[in-house]
Chains A and B, each alone.
Chain A
């Protein structure tokens, strides 16, 4: 979403916005944005050249443990409020291009990128129905039938929601609607969007606008299909089994770790709970990597988890043995054990980042 070509955005402006957002101060945030508009910044540059990069910085700062979860939420809320206050509702604007629906994958909390896409498309003359986060698939489909949108833009930032995203994509297409996917969850080059059969992938809001202007063809009757038609490896049931065994896997891994690592027996309930959560996330990502059959997705997540843990001064030492313990429970699943082996190797081989250099995570741990 970042576009460094927006030279009109000065570093000073960005710093002021960053500070206001960091304080969770919607009033000052709104003031900074209003002054930028008054100074002649156009709305699209404001959204994509100023608001979006600052929002991305918020995520990076959290991953590097420079701000708390509370600050992250407050910052996002401040940004969102300011955008609402400054960009008038679309009703007054001319709409000659057509009507699109912008939605997040159900279970998605990072709705702000979708919100920015919705605003930018409105600026480009589209009539946009922005459905926000936490929209059940049934509502989305109902909305499409009622409004007869020309296309659906689906945003997701959490790769663990990819199986759900896939279900949403096929459901929209079965309803005769072309789907454009975007957001971090779909991979840096959109490879998971293709794996899930999306009609198009867009790297950012401007890309989405350009793709819409080029036109999206409505899918034919052949679009009605099942997950395994797109992803034949699902036939091996490994994904289904791992999802079903999630709680058991986590519980057994913790029990085994405590046996092997006496230090863990001294953990407080809170620490034990956090560790359980970390492994629950790992199992979620393992399942997702099995779903899209992609090793990078899993190794990327475990190395990122290791970085985040260390940014919070928690040793990532229990990660490789933990991965090994999960692998032992899944020894009958060749794809899963291979992923876990790769994951452990990636954690071990990872270069140590200095403080503040933590790479942006694939999201999920919040």
Chain B
């Protein structure tokens, strides 16, 4: 109970504990906390019956809600209710929500990228922003060197690979081992080596923790979090939050590592299955293009190769073929066929013999998966190109003459890989300058679509469209045929489609321009050395 002058005139035991002072009940208003003294003055000084709502304030470290009850003699009874726990609960709920929002941001940011460098950069940046004043992400060692990512809150993120001794940071060696799980460690700021402090970090390091980035039991890196001397130390709640952050970052990083590793393996295995880049060889132009049945694949059941002759007087061997089936299974078989044919090159003067040897190599009791292919041997002779064409169960090559006539080659033969022996008839022809021989797979002619939806593109339509292509360079004709087929298809499903053009150059030297006319393409790095 407080009188008009603000003196405490009466207090219960709890209040006495709360507002300790000289013995006795009469105490000066200085003993009241300022916020309560103010409210009291307002209440007694105001016009009669001034109503004061409940108000809040701190006494010592705790928070109180104060309710006044005026009495008739001018004294006021202040009821103080300790509100600290409820407020703490509310604050922690709020920060819980903030933390959940942060973790969700961390997850979406990190999971959007499967690139290790990007994930590492984002982890360091987010850690510096949300958890500390600065962060250093130590990635798994590359030999004796460690990729280090430094980030400051609001500052740039820098990445460098450096030779450092992880043992100079207590707990870092354990954290970097990946297994067993290492607990988060508080570290004496004086123990932090210079390499673990981001450039431009202002002031003294005040507090440091090291936490593991958990992965799939293999080393996945560790995070060093630093706060400036004047900043707050890490609380237990923050340490728990750091663990949650590290769990998410670690999961994203190890997923990115796994993805990179698999992508690398796939790329290695795929390299030999991708179609090669073609260009000019010994005065003959070659161009090829491939589109896989599944638009998310780069390989499939069609294949082609050009094996240059040992010198310009020798024939080069062109192969274009189609394995029954699609996707990876078919692609693996194309690899086998391409390798076998490479080995059979010395016998390429006899196409039928080569086909029989290939047939024998492919025959197996497990399946009847066969291949159809065309062999074309090409040699420049003066301005013309001499061709020997042999079809093994494959749609016949088309020759686009200079005047626009399109001739279907009369070669024919059996498919390889399913029957005990095969036979084939070779046809010879010449290309005059500007003329082109086109090899293609049935993915082109059996493209279904057209303006009305379900029609076959068909060899007749292909021949008609090719009459408009007389005189085109090989590269352009191949592109043209793919484009016609793609337009015919529209959005329709399709089979693997491969096209190779063999062209007699219209003019110019019988050697290629600048030694290499092959297009650059990061997806087709492969060069097959004959």
Contact = CB atoms under 8 A, between A and B. Distances in A.
Contacts of B491: 243
A310 interface: no
A145 B523 contact: no
A84 B487 CA distance: 27
Nearest to A142: B263
Which secondary structure dominates where chain A touches chain B? Answer: helix
B295 interface: yes
Interface stretch (B80-88, B114-122, B225-233, B374-382): B114-122
B51 to A, nearest CB: 48
Contacts of B452: 247, 250-251, 276
Interface stretch (B160-168, B208-216, B235-243, B471-479): B471-479
Nearest to B466: A70
A342 interface: no
A2 interface: no
Contact of B109 (A27, A70, A221): A221
B450 interface: yes
Contact of A30 (B469, B470, B480, B513): B513
Interface stretch (B34-42, B132-140, B327-335, B514-522): B514-522
Contacts of B259: 145
Interface stretch (B179-187, B304-312, B411-419, B503-511): B503-511
Contact of B507 (A27, A106, A143, A280): A27
Interface in A64-82: 68-70, 73-74, 76-78, 80-82
Contacts of A98: none
B480 A129 contact: no
B333 to A, nearest CB: 22
Contacts of A138: 295-296
Contact of A77 (B115, B475, B514): B475
Contacts of B470: 70
Contacts of A243: 491
A74 B472 contact: yes
A147 B452 CA distance: 42
A174 B114 CA distance: 11
Contact of A250 (B264, B451, B476): B451
A79 to B, nearest CB: 11
Interface in A213-244: 220-221, 223-224, 243
A89 interface: yes
A132 B473 contact: no
B486 interface: yes
Contacts of B298: 139
Contacts of B508: 25-28
B472 A70 contact: yes
Interface in B453-506: 453-454, 464, 468-473, 475-477, 479-480, 482-483, 486-487, 490-491, 505-506
Q: Give the interface residue-count category, chain B.
A: 35 or more
Contact of B520 (A26, A89, A175): A89
Interface in B261-306: 263-264, 267, 291, 295-298
B421 interface: no
Interface in B123-146: none
Contacts of A85: 513-514, 516-517
Contacts of A353: none
Nearest to B518: A84
Nearest to A141: B114
Interface string B233-257: 0000000000000000000000010
Interface string B85-103: 0000000000000000000
B365 interface: no
A148 B115 contact: yes
A366 interface: yes
A86 interface: yes
Contacts, number: 156
Q: Give the interface residue-count category, chain A.
A: 35 or more
A132 B472 contact: no
A73 B472 contact: yes
Contacts of B340: none
Contact of A221 (B112, B295, B517): B112
B279 to A, nearest CB: 9
A134 interface: yes
A224 B291 CA distance: 29
B488 to A, nearest CB: 10
Nearest to A76: B476
A286 interface: no
Given A84-B520, A85-B514, A276-B452, A109 B483 contact: yes
Nearest to B519: A84
A154 B291 CA distance: 20
Contacts of B450: 273, 276
B160 to A, nearest CB: 15
A178 to B, nearest CB: 12
Contacts of B471: 24, 70, 74
A263 interface: no
A146 B517 contact: no
Q: Which of B468, B475, B506 has the most CB of A within 10 A?
A: B475
B50 interface: no
A243 B114 CA distance: 33
A18 B290 CA distance: 30
Nearest to B118: A148
Interface in A103-150: 106-107, 109, 129-132, 134-139, 142-148
Contact of B451 (A84, A130, A247): A247
A366 B115 contact: no
A277 interface: yes
Given A77-B475, A81-B517, A250-B452, 20 more contacts: A23-B506, A24-B506, A27-B507, A70-B470, A70-B480, A77-B476, A84-B516, A106-B295, A130-B521, A139-B298, A145-B115, A145-B259, A145-B260, A224-B108, A247-B451, A247-B452, A276-B451, A279-B451, A280-B451, A366-B487
18 contacts: A27-B505, A70-B468, A70-B472, A73-B476, A78-B473, A84-B518, A84-B519, A85-B514, A106-B295, A130-B521, A134-B482, A138-B296, A139-B296, A144-B115, A146-B260, A146-B267, A224-B112, A280-B490
Closest 3 CB pairs of A and B: A247-B453, A27-B508, A221-B108
